[in-house]
Amino acid sequence: MGTAKVTGVSSSSAVVRHSGEVSTRLGLGRYPVTFAIATLTCALAPAYTVRWHIGLYPTTVLEDAIALTVAAYALESWRARSMPQLRTPFTSTAHT
């Protein structure tokens, strides 16, 4: 159940797992989909002027992109069965 090198690819870019799945190391961390959608959300910042309605709720493209980013983060956290540790100097008193 170890890893093996992929022929023709440097060892720092990909490994083959026993299931045959190739995992690339792009530095995206544990949340690659969230990272990609968050990058797109940042690029959509000027789109806050594009408005429409979802049902009776008025919204913008930027608000929808933010909601999609949060949903992707929640889904990836749930699939990884991990919760973020929110221990920072600002929240440390809440955890004591």
Q: What is the pLDDT of residue 22?
A: 38
Most confident of 19-28, 37-46, 75-84: 37-46
Q: Is the pLDDT of residue 80 over 50?
A: yes
Answer yes or no: pTM beyond 0.75.
no
Cα–Cα distances in Å, from 7 out to 13, 24, 25, 46?
11, 14, 16, 44
- Domain locations in the chain as residue ranges: 1-26, 31-84
Give me the percent of the chain exceeding a pLDDT of 90: 33
Q: Is the pLDDT of residue 38 over 90?
A: yes
> How many residues in total does the chain contain?
96
Top-confidence residue, 82 or 74 = 74
Q: Is the pLDDT of residue 21 over 70?
A: no
Mean pLDDT of 39-52: 91
Cα angle for residues 46, 55, 37 (degrees, 5° grid): 40
